[in-house]
Structure 1
Amino acid sequence: MKQSPRVLGRPRNDINAKPTKAVVLETATKLFIKEGYKNISMDDVAKACNVTKATIYYYYPTKGELYTSALIEMMNKIRQAIIRILEQSKPFKERLEELVEVHLSATVAIDMKNFMREATMNLSESQILKVHASENELYKTIQQAMQIEMEKGTIHQGNAEFFAHTFLSLMTVGYFKDGEGNRLFQTEAIAAKEIVDFFWKSVGK
């Protein structure tokens, strides 16, 4: 039987393997984390995935699109992890501590500030809007949890959005290193306890 011609650049399907698009995105994300946007080319991604550059362009027409997808995928994964932790039945303060510890442990190699800075410098306005929309969904997840706990009486009444942004800002302190590369907290567990204790003094009952 004569096979229909493939679209140029379209990868062959292998039902037993991880989808090529997923491999490309996963690999590109790791490369961007390690080397940054400017130091990684579409050629680099293709070589690391062991596919042609045409295959990369089939899924992602530009490096900006690939970078946008990488950022959104990272934030979606972070958001899903946050949801899983917040949906547990343990006390809210304990959930927050676990959230900080897990988040810091999972993202210690990711400089999100640098990611966002490179996004602002290199992405189109529409791409930046997509990234910010995904970032806002992450904030909303924390905000909704704060609102629920207010209604339960676990924390003081206030602006849930402000509480969420304050909490996430405090969490970034866990990444802090001085000029010699020394961390402010020796472990993620210590960071989580100190950060949540500080936050709880303002909102907890």
Structure 2
Amino acid sequence: MNGFEKRSQQKMQAIKNATFALLNQPEGVEGVRMDKVAKAAGVSKATIFKYFHSKERLIQQVFLDYLDTIAMEATDFLQEDRPFEDKLMALAQVKIKHLEQVDQQFFIDLMNQYSQKADAELAAKMQAYNQRYYEVMATLLQQGRQEGKIDLKYSDEFIMIYLESMVQGVTNPAIYQKINIHYTEYWAEMLLKALAPSPEK
């Protein structure tokens, strides 16, 4: 990367950082104004539009970066040599950590962006994210069966539908507003208990 490309990347990151900070204010998306972003990032509004073309695309990119960060960190945990229960709880801890780093309005806006707007790029990204999640979970469930931690009567298909129904419920903004962050950990604990083989009588 030459000097010009490096400076461009630094400017783009400064713009995204400024936008991320504004998205984590109580006003959320409604509080993101290009003059505020430009001032916080130390660039002109023209520079913002040069790199991101529109306010909507800039906000979309910040949301996508946030999802990418969670996915990469979760993948790193799952590649470690750990027991099934540790990996499942680690996934919950990753989500808790990243949810604690953002304002509640940020996550509500993210879910609104995903569920209510015809955003082809975000939809494609989420589809790829979900496909990767399915593959990772299938591998994790296989490990759980090998370790005798999952009742064999539960198929991958059933477990994935169960997990998807939970995720769809949580991503509803009306439900998310009622959720304590640490419920994520409780769900992981309940899932472990629910999947465990029945004790022999």
Asked if 1:80 is matched to 2:78, the reply is no
2:52 pairs, out of 56, 60, 83, with: 60
The higher relative CO (CA closer than 8 Å, separation ≥ 6) is in 2
Matches of 1:41 and 1:134, distance apart in 2: 25
Asked if 1:50 is matched to 2:48, the reply is no
Structure 1 counterpart of 2:164, one-letter code: H
Match of 1:89 in 2: 81
Asked if 1:100 is matched to 2:92, the reply is yes
1:33 pairs, out of 24, 27, 44, with: 24
Structure 2 counterpart of 1:161, one-letter code: M
How far off its partner does 1:140 sit?
2.6
Match of 1:132 in 2: 123
| Residues 1:176 and 1:25: Cα distance change in structure 2 (over 3 Å) | closer
Matches of 1:176 and 1:64, distance apart in 2: 23
* Structure 2 gap segments, 5+ residues each: none
Matches of 2:156 and 2:6, distance apart in 1: 51
| Residues 1:165 and 1:107: Cα distance change in structure 2 (over 3 Å) | same
| Contact 2:16/2:62 (8 A) holds in 1 | yes
Match of 1:144 in 2: 135
Give the share of equivalent positions with the same residue, in percent: 17
**How large is the RMSD of aligned CA atoms in angstroms?**
3.2
Matches of 2:191 and 2:167, distance apart in 1: 10
Using structure 2 for the length normalisation, give the TM-score: 0.73
Using structure 1 for the length normalisation, give the TM-score: 0.72
| Residues 1:20 and 1:53: Cα distance change in structure 2 (over 3 Å) | same
Structure 1 counterpart of 2:31, one-letter code: N
Q: Count residues in correspondence.
A: 181
Matches of 1:139 and 1:77, distance apart in 2: 15
Asked if 1:162 is matched to 2:154, the reply is no
How far off its partner does 1:168 sit?
4.2
Matches of 2:114 and 2:135, distance apart in 1: 27
Query: Comparing 85-94 with 30-39, which one deviates more in the overlay?
Result: 30-39
| Contact 1:42/1:53 (8 A) holds in 2 | yes
Question: Alpha-carbon deviations, 1:96-115, whole Å to 9, x = none?
Answer: 11221222122222432332
Match of 1:201 in 2: 193
How far off its partner does 1:143 sit?
1.5
Match of 2:110 in 1: 115
The 3-state SS of whatever aligns with 2:139 is helix
Matches of 2:69 and 2:103, distance apart in 1: 13
Question: Alpha-carbon deviations, 1:108-127, whole Å to 9, x = none?
Answer: 22432332315666x6x3xx
Question: Alpha-carbon deviations, 1:33-71, whole Å to 9, x = none?
Answer: 223112211111100011111111110111011111111
* Structure 1 gap segments, 5+ residues each: 1-11
The 3-state SS of whatever aligns with 2:137 is helix
